[in-house]
Amino acid sequence: MAWFTRKTPSIDPAPQEGERKVRTEGLWLKCDGCDQVIWRKGLEENQNVCPKCEFHFKLDAVARLRLLFDGEYEEFDHGMTTTDPLGFVDSRPYKDRLQAMRNATGQSDAVVSAAGLLAGRRVNISSMELKFVGGSMGAVVGEKITRCIERAIRERTPVIIVSASGGARMQEGAVSLMQMAKVSAALMRLDQAKLPFISVLTDPTTGGVTASYAMLGDLIIAEPGALIGFAGPRVIEQTIRQKLPSGFQRSEFLVEHGFIDAIVKRQEMKSYIAGALNFLCGKIQS
């Protein structure tokens, strides 16, 4: 009869109205590829690739670096920020928008630049952050990638750029567009130094990024299903007044038409790049 005389209940009382909490919130999500419900932890353990249909979810810049580097890596130019050259204001001041992005992502701008070991080989990697103003390329992005390339030339290491971007950043106007030429010129110096550049295209890679460094790699590879192009399909259809082919501007369409070299699944990306660097660096040395 101990249960009858117990002063504290053996189970929690039913919550009062307004106190109910959904304990399963955030544990499950729906796949954009197959509409199946996926356990979030299982998805993360599978490198954010759907275990049922292999749809590749988007990754942030830091997750990309962890995927490629062997372990610890050194980040460069973390605190670099834009000067807002135009004093741009739309629905809110550009400076306020940037600060909100910094608070949300923990990054100073839309690219993270780092160096470390990939399969035992030292490499310099710039990984773009799509969540920061759509991964758009402004003065800071161009400067950080250029410094990454120049550092690689000094160290005699390969360069890898992981692109995820909506293109040039309109809030910085011509200053943003100048970064296309700036980074392309740095890549020319990298080529003259006979060092390899591997360009990794993820969903999406569009606009001025596609029109410059994203398509200048010695090897250009993409994840499955990635949107890759300059203008979007809707803009092209409205311009040429024709319906575009199925799958147009997706990585599968581009590799079929010779615009990129290969499609590589995320789980195989590191080993594929390591093998490519063994080949490219071996050819350079010979």
From CA 144, how far away is CA 125, in angstroms rounded?
Answer: 11
Backbone angles phi, psi at 73, to 5 degrees: -145, 165
Residues 105 and 47 in one domain: no
Residues 47 and 117 in one domain: no
- 57, 72, 106 - which closes a domain: 57
The answer to the question of residue 9 being in a domain is no
CB 89, CB 139: distance < 8 Å: no
pTM of the model: 0.89
The answer to the question of residue 48 being in a domain is yes
> CA-CA distances (angstroms) from residue 272 to 71, 100, 126, 221?
18, 37, 18, 10
Backbone angles phi, psi at 272, to 5 degrees: -65, -45
- The total of structural domains in the chain comes to 2
The answer to the question of residue 275 being in a domain is yes
Residues 41 and 113 in one domain: no
**pLDDT the model gives residue 233:** 86
- Residue 4: pLDDT band (50, 70, 90) is very low
Provide the CATH number for the domain around residue 159: 3.90.226.10
Helix spans in the chain (H)? 2-5, 40-45, 61-68, 94-105, 139-155, 173-192, 207-210, 233-240, 251-256, 269-285
Residue whose tokens read 């990754």: 59
Instruction: Tell me the pLDDT of the chain averaged across its residues.
Output: 92
What average pLDDT score do residues 82-96 get?
Answer: 94
Q: 115 pairs with which residues across the strands?
A: 74, 124
Residues 82 and 45 in one domain: no
Cβ neighbours of residue 102 closer than 8 Å, sequence gap 6 or more: 108
Residues 39 and 136 in one domain: no
Residues 45 and 158 in one domain: no
pLDDT digits (tens, 9 = 90+) for 212-265: 999 999 999 999 999 999 998 889 999 999 999 999 999 999 999 999 999 999
Residues 49 and 94 in one domain: no
Range in 38-47, 144-153, 213-222 the model is least confident about:
38-47
Domain span holding position 216: 59-285
What average pLDDT score do residues 117-123 get?
Answer: 98
Q: DSSP secondary-structure letter at 134?
A: G
Residues 53 and 110 in one domain: no
Cβ neighbours of residue 38 closer than 8 Å, sequence gap 6 or more: 28, 29, 30, 31, 50, 51, 52
